[in-house]
Amino acid sequence: MKVIDLSMPIESLKTPMFPTYPKPLKTIFSTIETHGFNSNVWIFVEHTSTHVDAPIHFIKDGDTIDKIPVDTYVGWATVLDFSNVPPKHEISSEELEERIRSLPFRVEKGWILLLYTGYSYKAGTDEWYNHPGLSEDACRYLLKLGVKAIGIDAPSPDHEPFPAHRILLPRGVAIYENLINLDKLINKKFLFIGLPLKLVEGTASPVRAVAVLM
Give mean pLDDT, residues 109-113: 98
* Angle subtended by helix axes 93-101 and 136-145, to nearest 10: 40
Q: How many CA atoms lie within 13 A of 170 on its CB side?
A: 11
Segment 117-144 shows an average pLDDT of: 97
CA distance 168 to 113: 13
51-61 pLDDT, tens per residue?
Answer: 999 999 999 99
Write down the mean pLDDT value for the chain: 98
Distances (CA, A) of 18 to 24, 26, 31: 12, 19, 32
Q: Could you state, in order of their start, the residue ranges of all structural domains in the chain?
A: 10-43, 51-213
* Residues linked to residue 151 through DSSP beta bridges, in sequence order: 114, 176
Q: What is the pLDDT of residue 36?
A: 98
How many whole angstroms separate alpha carbon 187 and alpha carbon 79?
6
pLDDT digits (tens, 9 = 90+) for 136-161: 999 999 999 999 999 999 999 999 99
- Looking at the domain 51-213, which fold is it? Glucose Oxidase; domain 1 (3.50.30)
Active site residues: 57
What pLDDT, on a 0 to 100 scale, did the predictor assign at position 35? 98
Q: Calculate the dihedral angle through the C-alpha atoms of 44, 14, 11, 89, rounding to the nearest 10 degrees.
A: 80
- Structure confidence at residue 199 (pLDDT): 98
Model pLDDT, residue 54: 98
Q: How many CB atoms lie within 10 A of CB 137?
A: 16
Contacts 24+ apart (CB under 8 A), 104-108: 104/187, 105/78, 105/189, 107/78, 107/145, 107/147, 108/76, 108/146
Q: Which helix (H) or strand (E) holds 32?
A: helix 32-35
Can you tell me the distance from the alpha carbon of 38 to that of 47, in angstroms, rounded to the nearest whole number?
A: 26
pLDDT band at 82 (very low <50, low <70, confident <90, very high): very high
pLDDT digits 0-9 by tens, 27-50: 999 999 999 999 999 999 999 999
Asked if 193 and 168 count as a contact pair (C-beta separation under 8 A), the reply is no
